[in-house]
Structure 1
């Protein structure tokens, strides 16, 4: 065994997007906490987010070629067999050189070759699926995986068991900090962001790319929100701040409407937020539910509909509202958001919604997935 007798070795495969990389790193952290001498290797591509985040996290990255799986017949179908063979060879080399005893896959381009290489070597595979609607790689790997973990109930994978989504380290720490000292944590985060911790605070975010429709709807209702005494932190997405700032021109109280393109320290914004408006990606939904934050979810209107499914359990429990992208406009914001932030019943309503969200949220998902991995170690 590579690093001393008895030291477990695990290969974690996932990459391309934060949705794959963040849960992978959370599970890696948990495995390292449980087994300080473990050898952990990450399988990824040279182009994905993992190429930066994994080395920054202090983990070795074994690189495989990027092999997109075409969803419909194109010329790429003819190139796929050769590309896949090369990727499976690279994944097999990573397994052999690391002495991996278990392969843990999080979906994405690198997962398929990892699953195939592990199967050839009769090495157990543990899968985690982030989204309510599983991707192609995990649908394939689940056919022979030793364990299949899913974030949401109802995810259609063979043998699936619900573990929730492993939380990023800053969010996991924020969960603990809010439990220990909610007021102090909020005040410290507000001070760092230049906000007033005493004001009811609305967080608006469409992720790193932003959401033009969400930006326009909330900015269009800025006068009403500010007149009600609300403080807004609006993360517009790259290149989208000017349109929001233009909508604030001449609006009384605009000094309480804080506009940024993006915030790396997202946990600070979540520490201050009383209500969040934004998309319903799996990570967003799970983090806000674990933190017990009431939210208005606006599913992405394109794609396979997974964002609506992601938010379904939280909304059904009463922890959030769901509004179609086409229905979100300034009139909707005026009608629904001020009552959640100010007025006689606002605090009580938010507390009820926050408790409902927290009941659905999972805080120990990384530990749950780590236990599945441990069960497959020799």
Structure 2
């Protein structure tokens, strides 16, 4: 039995590519055993089991961004997590490890290196994270979504769910809008702030509704499970807030324009589907979201608003500018589509199966 472990956790941006690859691996090798290694603290605790994939847990080893007590304890925590990951890989007789970055990946990379298990790294962001920078040094194969993220890596795009990568937006649009209670004939703006929502974007959208109602559009807004619908917004019948969108492919099919963060997964989905977007990069972190969209914005495939500049007036003005131009949406769609890269899940799966076979 061939066994492949995928290391991914934290946010959907790391977990979804791993799930897409897990499915591709199983489709290519029915006798292959695939499982995901995560931690107790990330979204993988719920998302992975819901998708029918086995989840193995190791301790979380977050990298502090500031000098504090947690930084001094990091070597000890990383050593302990690596020992646990090593025992897991040994017990499961793992033949290949595929990592997607985030805290969980580094101890799995180190454990695989110690055991001589071949490693594949996939970097989703333009600015590579620490775990993948380290793992890429001794990986057998390194993939990236954006050119230049990791020296020598092969640019293949982002592994995506087939429900999104093969979506026919035009054929699905009417049913998609019906499923969300939307009008079939109105321009539609989809708003979301990532897998957990974005409170500041939610606030600005609420403040924008009075102006947006004059534009004969409708808004589908995923506010995030941790956020509540603003009661004051219920007077606007064109505004449709939901806590979470389970089938993003339907939301994309319904949308003419997206307002969102600039995570790598989001960009990959929207370029594959050629959907114009107004990107509001997450201001915290190491600045990777702004770097993620730099080339796309330069080529006209999206519009950029920095979080520090974001106001209701600016957002409404940008939406009006895009919708009121007869050609703007089509031009943005064409430019976005030129950045699309497909079948990354298939390429990762093929590489993992080849390395696993050679290792046995």
TM-score (norm 2): 0.91
Q: Are the counterparts in 2 of residues 218 and 329 from structure 1 also a CA contact under 8 Å?
A: no
Q: Secondary structure at the match of 2:20?
A: helix
Report the equivalent of 1:176: 166
Structure 1 325/96 Cα, relative in aligned 2: closer, same or farther at 3 Å?
Answer: same
Report the equivalent of 2:251: 269
Aligned equivalents of 1:14, 1:152: Cα separation in 2? 19
Structure 1 spans left out of the alignment, 5+ residues: none
Aligned equivalents of 1:66, 1:224: Cα separation in 2? 45
Structure 1 235/71 Cα, relative in aligned 2: closer, same or farther at 3 Å?
Answer: closer
2:356 aligned with 1:373: no
Aligned equivalents of 1:41, 1:32: Cα separation in 2? 11
Report the equivalent of 2:153: 160
2:327 aligned with 1:359: no
2:232 to 246, 253, 258: 246
Q: CA deviation at 1:57?
A: 2.6
Q: Which structure has more RCO (C-alpha within 8 Å, separation ≥ 6)? A: 2
CA RMSD of aligned residues (A): 2.1
Map 1:127-166 → 2, pairs under 5 A: 127-155=121-149, 157-166=150-159
Aligned equivalents of 1:213, 1:51: Cα separation in 2? 26
Aligned equivalents of 1:329, 1:11: Cα separation in 2? 44
Q: CA deviation at 1:38?
A: 0.8
Structure 1 94/133 Cα, relative in aligned 2: closer, same or farther at 3 Å?
Answer: same
> How many residues are aligned here?
357
2:227 aligned with 1:234: no
2:187 aligned with 1:200: yes
2:31 to 28, 37, 44: 37
Q: CA deviation at 1:319?
A: 1.0
Q: Secondary structure at the match of 2:154?
A: strand
Aligned equivalents of 1:356, 1:30: Cα separation in 2? 29
Aligned equivalents of 2:140, 2:125: Cα separation in 1? 20
Aligned equivalents of 1:248, 1:332: Cα separation in 2? 23
- Consecutive aligned runs of 4 or more in structure 1 exceeding 6 Å deviation: none
Q: Are the counterparts in 2 of residues 111 and 137 from structure 1 also a CA contact under 8 Å?
A: yes
Report the equivalent of 1:255: 237
Q: Are the counterparts in 2 of residues 299 and 324 from structure 1 also a CA contact under 8 Å?
A: yes
1:20 to 14, 18, 21: 14
Query: Which one has a bigger Cα radius of gyration?
Result: 1
Aligned equivalents of 1:122, 1:240: Cα separation in 2? 45
Q: CA deviation at 1:162?
A: 1.1
Aligned equivalents of 1:139, 1:25: Cα separation in 2? 22
Map 1:277-356 → 2, pairs under 5 A: 277-341=259-323, 343=324, 345-346=325-326, 348-356=327-335
Aligned equivalents of 1:48, 1:261: Cα separation in 2? 19
Report the equivalent of 1:118: 112
Aligned equivalents of 1:92, 1:193: Cα separation in 2? 46
Q: CA deviation at 1:310?
A: 1.2
Q: Are the counterparts in 2 of residues 41 and 98 from structure 1 also a CA contact under 8 Å?
A: no
Q: CA deviation at 1:240?
A: 4.7
Q: CA deviation at 1:357?
A: 0.8
Aligned equivalents of 1:187, 1:235: Cα separation in 2? 19
Aligned equivalents of 2:32, 2:107: Cα separation in 1? 23
Structure 1 358/14 Cα, relative in aligned 2: closer, same or farther at 3 Å?
Answer: same
Q: Are the counterparts in 2 of residues 10 and 101 from structure 1 also a CA contact under 8 Å?
A: yes
1:123-160 deviation line (CA, Å, top 9, x unaligned):
211101122211111111111111111111221x2422
TM-score (norm 1): 0.87
